[in-house]
Every structure is written in C-alpha cells, then in structure tokens.
Amino acid sequence: MRRRRSALVAAAVIVLGGVLGAVALADGIIGPLDPPDPGLDRSADPASTAGPPNSSATPTQDTTARLPCTGIKQPLNFPNSWAGTSLDGLTLTAVIRRCDVPRGDEPIRANYVSYIYGDCNAEDDAGCAPPIEIQSWPSGERNRQMLSPVPGRPESRGSDMTVAGDPATSYDDGRRLELYRRSSTIVIFGDTPARVERFAGALATAPRVLSELERHRVAFPAGCQDDVHYCAGAAGG
C-alpha cells in the first residue's frame, strides 16, 4: 500500500479540490483501512475507543444516559472542544465523528468528536498515534466515576487536579489528560506531558454542527455526511 504524509497508512480516502488525498484516521491511532483494534499508545486508555473496551471500567449509571447519535450535519447534543487549526507547530489534520450502536458487553461505547493534530510515522500496518488528539464526549457517557484502574498498570489510577477551574485527571505519566466538565468530558492524548498541557490551555469551543468546519478547510467525504455513526474528514486540503 502506497503511503502519503509521513508514511502514514491511509484509513480514509478523500477527494480535496479534485486531487485524491489519503488521510490517516483511526481514533487517534493511524493505521490500516480496516478499523484497528485497541493498542499502541492508546492501549493505556481504560476506555479505548479504537475498538471494544479492554478494561474493567464499569458504568455507574443506567444506559438511558446515552444520547442519540448525530451526524456531521446535525447539531451535536454535547459541547465539543478543539485548539483551532494549528498550535505548537502542529496543524489540524483530521476530524472524526464516531458514535457506536450500544452493545450489552460494552461498558463505555464510543461517542465522541476527535480532532487530530500532526502526523506520525507508521512502522507497520499496526499504525501509530499522532502527536495530539483531542476527544470530546458527553459527560454522561464518559466521566471520572465510570473509569476504574486497569490491573497491572500502576499509572492507571491517575493524578487528580484542576485545569482552568475544571476537575481533571492526568494519566500515563501526563500523556493523557481528562477534563470533566458539566456537559462534556475532554480527553487529550499527547506525545509529551508538556504538549498536552499546552493544548489543554488552548481549548476553545468548536462548532456544534461539524459540517461548518468546512470554512476551516475540513472536508468530509460525501459518502459519510449523512452517517450518524462514523464520518472522518481531512483538514488543510
């Protein structure tokens, strides 16, 4: 498979301005065309969203807290955050809207908007994690009470703190930060703790109708614009 953009394996192919462009999009893991399994740098997340959860996390509330899925043309039913089109030398490269159909064996289903910044070099088809990913979840579907430590990972309990007035927990030696707001939970994955902190300090409200991101040069393929479960767009084309 031919690779583009820092040797990334393409997970979505999008036509931008008549040019066929390949963009790697896989919930923070840049990987193959098929949806990847949990792993790589995201495996430390007790509510990993690149596949079925692989942890002992348990919900503390009834599943009626789960919100209806929305597509990119519909207003989100929870706030979402980003850090603009560039920060810290990293440009926005992809935007993902994912909302899975709930399963009985799934303690935390994937329901989020993801903003991916920068590229990474995939050494093989297993993929790789980009420098920064910002995910926004409804607070009723992901929060501090719903996550429990993963056995064998001493850092998985996290360190509680406050970030810009919001309660937060830092995991994975500072490379994952979860901010617990009233209506949303913001999860920042990063390659260094310092970069995670910088992006946390630059969070801003993103459009609730994701198709409006077109004015920021984010292009969503026509084939998924009406899909309420998954749509991935390329930025900066």
Could you tell me whether strands 12-16 and 19-23 are parallel, antiparallel, or unpaired per DSSP bridges? Answer: antiparallel
Q: Measuring CA to CA, which residue among 200, 173, 60, 190 is closest to residue 118?
A: 190
User: Helix count (H) and strand count (E) of the chain?
Assistant: 1, 14
Supply φ then ψ for residue 216, to 5 degrees. Answer: -105, 20
Q: Measuring CA to CA, which residue among 11, 2, 230 is closest to residue 128?
A: 11
Is the separation of the CB atoms in 137 and 150 below 8 Å? no
Question: How many C-beta neighbours within 10 Å does residue 96 have?
Answer: 25
- C-alpha to C-alpha distances, 75 to 129, 150, 153, 204, nearest whole angstrom: 28, 34, 38, 17
What pLDDT, on the 0 to 100 scale, is given for residue 121?
Answer: 81
Q: How many CA atoms lie within 13 A of 62 on its CB side?
A: 1
Is the separation of the CB atoms in 72 and 209 below 8 Å? yes
Q: Measuring CA to CA, which residue among 218, 171, 223, 181 is closest to residue 48?
A: 171
What pLDDT, on the 0 to 100 scale, is given for residue 208?
Answer: 97
237 residues of the chain, pLDDT tens digit each: 333 333 332 333 322 222 222 233 334 433 322 332 223 334 334 443 333 233 333 333 444 578 999 999 999 999 999 999 999 999 999 999 999 998 877 778 999 999 999 998 877 777 788 999 999 999 999 988 887 554 554 546 789 999 999 999 999 999 999 999 999 999 999 999 999 999 999 999 999 999 999 999 999 999 999 999 999 999 986
Q: How many residues in the chain?
A: 237
Alpha-carbon distance of 159 to 166, in angstroms, equals 14
Q: Tell the residue number behind the tokens 């706030």, with chain if given.
A: 79
State the alpha helices, DSSP H only, in the chain.
193-201
What pLDDT, on the 0 to 100 scale, is given for residue 148?
Answer: 57
What pLDDT, on the 0 to 100 scale, is given for residue 27?
Answer: 41
pTM of the entire predicted model: 0.75
